[in-house]
């Protein structure tokens, strides 16, 4: 895919593997500075070696508010502006676990991390014209037909396969709802930053690592390559016709593979009262707002 993106400062979370690493390679090869925001020091350094001189590794565990604070401070000391934040880090079918903040791991990583990091970095995004936040979601966001609010910061242990699948689906819907709601709030506050959600279809990666069957599926030769998978991320990051608030998916019926195009989200994400409820619950619980 051709793009003129150059000399930009781009943060990509979870960029030591899969779609994040592939996006990092692409953006660095075009002459941008890519911040590899990865949680594991060894993997982060390895990613830096792979991506090359246009990259910098700054440790970030998106499931930890302390780590997000530290990352934002370190980034702030080194850079006066940010052009693109790509919220990409994610987990699927994770074994039961609470983070150091006491939050369920999939909820913390897939949703809360997007929310916290975006809000922390808005002061830097404001310093750059045409800046944007890209929120990677999934076609799994379509599967939820009615929101079960028990999946918002669940107290209950997420242990059955059904619960693990449902929390993955819910957190992908929450990411999307957050992305749309953020755009509306940015406009309301006259903040010239765009918020765009996208999904990659289904592409080879390590996403299935926590469940043997998913691990096999995500390595199948019929799956799209990660190069194919990042098309929607690159489109969302570079397309000047996007005004913010869109969901970029793929131009095929099941959206597993294809070329990027703006698609309709799960109708639940279009219900403002639900988005407002999600935002309010997040702010009330974690005390950070735009």
Ligand X SMILES: NC(=O)c1ccc[n+]([C@@H]2O[C@H](COP(=O)([O-])OP(=O)(O)OC[C@H]3O[C@@H](n4cnc5c(N)ncnc54)[C@H](OP(=O)(O)O)[C@@H]3O)[C@@H](O)[C@H]2O)c1
Give residues with Cβ within 8 angstroms of 286, minimum separation 6. Answer: 65, 112, 115, 116
Nearest distance from C-beta of residue 166 to ligand X, angstroms: 14
State yes or no: residue 62 binds ligand X (CB under 6 A).
yes
The residue count for binding ligand X (CB under 6 A) is: 30
What torsion do the CA atoms of 233, 237, 239, 243 make, to the nearest 10 degrees? 110
Give residues with Cβ within 8 angstroms of 241, minimum separation 6. Answer: none
State yes or no: residue 103 binds ligand X (CB under 6 A).
no
State yes or no: residue 203 binds ligand X (CB under 6 A).
yes
Q: Which of 8, 20, 186, 282 binds ligand X (CB under 6 A)?
A: 20
Q: Which stretch binds ligand X (CB under 6 A): 77-85, 89-97, 148-156, 247-255?
A: 89-97
Nearer to ligand X, 191 or 286 (CB): 286
State yes or no: residue 48 binds ligand X (CB under 6 A).
no
The single residue of 111, 151, 168, 235 carrying the catalytic annotation is 168
Neighbour-count burial of 205, counting CB atoms closer than 10 A to its CB (0-12 exposed, 13-18 middle, 19+ buried):
buried
Nearest distance from C-beta of residue 129 to ligand X, angstroms: 28
State yes or no: residue 63 binds ligand X (CB under 6 A).
yes
Q: Which of 9, 10, 11, 13 binds ligand X (CB under 6 A)?
A: 13
d(CA 206, CA 226): 11
Catalytic residue list contains 168? yes
For the chain, how big is the Rg over CA atoms in Å? Answer: 17
Q: Which stretch binds ligand X (CB under 6 A): 38-46, 150-158, 186-194, 237-245?
A: 38-46
Q: Which of 10, 11, 16, 83 binds ligand X (CB under 6 A)?
A: 16
Nearest distance from C-beta of residue 116 to ligand X, angstroms: 12
**Torsion sign across C-alpha atoms 79, 112, 135, 132:** negative
State yes or no: residue 211 binds ligand X (CB under 6 A).
no
State yes or no: residue 260 binds ligand X (CB under 6 A).
no
- The pair phi, psi for residue 230, each rounded to 5°, is -85, -5
d(CA 269, CA 145): 11
34 contacts 24 by C-beta, under 8 angstroms: yes
Nearest distance from C-beta of residue 146 to ligand X, angstroms: 21
State yes or no: residue 144 binds ligand X (CB under 6 A).
no
Closest residue by Cα to residue 69 from 134, 14, 123, 116: 116
68 contacts 117 by C-beta, under 8 angstroms: yes
Known catalytic residues are 168
Which residue ranges make up the site for ligand X (CB under 6 A)?
A: 13-14, 16-20, 38-40, 43, 60-63, 88-91, 109, 136, 138, 199-200, 202-203, 205-207, 229
């Amino acid at each position: 895919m051709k793009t003129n993106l150059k000399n930009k400062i781009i943060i990509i979370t979870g960029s030591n593997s899969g779609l994040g690493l592939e996006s990092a390679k692409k953006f660095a090869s075009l002459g941008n500075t890519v911040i590899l925001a990865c949680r594991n020091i060894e993997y982060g350094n390895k990613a830096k070696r792979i991506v090359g001189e246009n990259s910098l590794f700054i440790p970030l565990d998106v499931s930890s508010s302390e780590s997000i604070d530290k990352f934002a401070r370190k980034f702030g000391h080194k850079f006066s502006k940010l052009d693109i934040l790509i919220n990409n880090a994610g987990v699927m079918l994770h074994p039961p676990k609470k983070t150091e903040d006491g939050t369920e791991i999939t909820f913390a990583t897939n949703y809360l991390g997007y929310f916290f990091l975006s809000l922390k970095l808005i002061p830097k995004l404001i310093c750059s014209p045409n800046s944007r936040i890209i929120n990677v979601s999934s076609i799994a966001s379509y599967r939820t037909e009615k929101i079960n609010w028990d999946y918002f910061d669940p107290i209950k242990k997420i242990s059955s396969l059904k619960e693990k699948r449902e929390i993955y689906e819910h957190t992908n819907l929450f990411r999307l709802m957050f992305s749309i709601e953020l755009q509306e709030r940015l406009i309301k506050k006259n903040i010239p930053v765009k918020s765009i959600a996208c999904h990659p279809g289904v592409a080879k990666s390590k996403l299935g690592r926590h469940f043997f069957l998913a691990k096999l599926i995500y390595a199948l030769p019929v799956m799209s390559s990660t190069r194919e998978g990042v098309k929607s991320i690159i489109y969302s990051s570079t397309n000047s016709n996007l005004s913010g608030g869109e969901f970029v998916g793929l131009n095929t019926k099941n959206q597993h593979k294809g070329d990027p195009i703006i698609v309709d989200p799960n109708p639940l994400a279009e219900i403002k009262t639900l988005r407002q409820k999600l935002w309010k619950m997040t702010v009330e619980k974690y005390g950070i707002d735009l």
